[in-house]
Amino acid sequence: MTTSRAETLSGRAVADGVAERLKARVAELPYVPRLVFVRVGEDPASVFYVRSKQRFAKRIGVDAETLVLPDDVDQAELMATIAALNADPDTDAVLVQLPLPGHLDSAPVLEAIDPAKDVDGFHPLNVGRLWSGGAALAPCTPVGLLAILDHHGLEVHGRHVVIVGRSHMVGKPAAALFLARHATVTLAHSRTRDLAGVVRTGDIVVAAVGRAGLITADMVKPGAVVLDVGMTRVGDRIVGDVAEDVWDVAGHMTPMPGGTGLVTVAMVLQNTLTAAERRRG
C-alpha cells in the first residue's frame, strides 16, 4: 500500500494575500501608519527577523523604523525609550524584538508598551481582552495560524485542536483564539501524561515547543492538520517541532521554514494597521 504525502499549507501564499489586502487599506488612509521596532544589540536572529518585518512594511506602504540600542543598555534607558514612543503621536505601533539580553527583564518592558500600540499583543490588557472576548491586539503567530486555515478552507468550528506548548506568545493565546472559533481545545505541554496519546486525538495539531522533531508520525491521527510553529537550528538547517515522517500521515501540514513564520510577519503589519486605525479613527 502506498501512502500519500500531506498537502502543503504554504505560508507564502497566505502572506502574499494579506499583503495585497493591507496595501489596499493603507492606500485609502489619509496618513501613513508608523511602526517602530526596538532592537537591543546585534543578535543575528533578531537582526534577520526585524529586517523581514521591515521589508513587509515597505511592501504595503507602512513607515517602519528600527531603533537599535547597545547590548549593554540598562533597564532604565530601555524603559525611557518605550515611554518616548508611547508619547509620540506619530507612532502607531511599537514592537520590542525578543529575546532581550540576559541582564534585561522583558516583563516590565512589555508591560510598559501602550496597549493601543502593542502589536505583539503581549501586554496584560490585551491578553485579558483576548480571553474575555474583547477587542484586542492578539499575538501574531496564533492569529496567523487561523489565517492559514482560513486561506486553505480548513474548518475550525467543532474540531478538536491539540496545542503542544503553553507559552504566553503562542500556546495560551492560540487556545483562546481557537476557543473563540468554537473549537474544542486541549493545551498540552512537556508534563502532559501520555503526550503521544493526547496529540493523536487532535483533528488539528499545533506544535509550539521549540524542540526539533518532537511530534512524530506515530503521534498524529491520519489526515490531521499539523501546524508547525517550532524553530530550531540543527547544524546549518532550520527545522521545526514536527518530524519529517509526519508528512506521510497528516492530511495537511505547514513546512518549516516557509510556513507559519511568513504569516507571523504579515500579522505584525495587520496589527499595525488595526492599531493605527483605532488610534486615529
pLDDT digits 0-9 by tens, 224-257: 999 999 988 888 888 899 999 999 999 999 999 8
Which entry of 92, 97, 221, 270 is annotated as an active-site residue? Answer: 97
Domain limits of the chain?
Answer: 31-120, 139-260
Three cell numbers, residue 132: 474575555
pLDDT at 1 over 70: no
Of the candidates 120, 203, 228, 241, the residue annotated as catalytic is 120
Q: What is the pLDDT of residues 4-29, one digit of tens each?
A: 799 999 999 999 999 999 999 999 99
Question: Has 75 been annotated as catalytic?
Answer: no
CATH superfamily ID and name for 139-260: NAD(P)-binding Rossmann-like Domain (3.40.50.720)
Distances (CA, A) of 40 to 102, 106, 184: 11, 11, 39
pLDDT bin (cut points 50, 70, 90) of residue 3 is low
pLDDT digits (tens, 9 = 90+) for 196-235: 999 999 999 999 999 999 999 999 999 999 999 998 888 8
pLDDT digit string, tens, across residues 130-154: 999 999 999 999 999 999 999 999 9
Q: Decide if 146 contacts 177 (C-beta within 8 A).
A: yes
Q: Are 240 and 207 contacting, i.e. CB atoms less than 8 angstroms apart? A: yes
Q: Hey, which CATH number is domain 31-120, 2.60.40.10, 3.10.129.10, 3.40.50.10860, 3.20.20.70?
A: 3.40.50.10860
Catalytic residue list contains 97: yes
Strand partners for 206: 163, 227
One fold for 31-120 and 139-260: yes
Helix (H) or strand (E) holding 127: helix 124-132
Closest C-alpha to 270, from 1, 39, 20 = 20
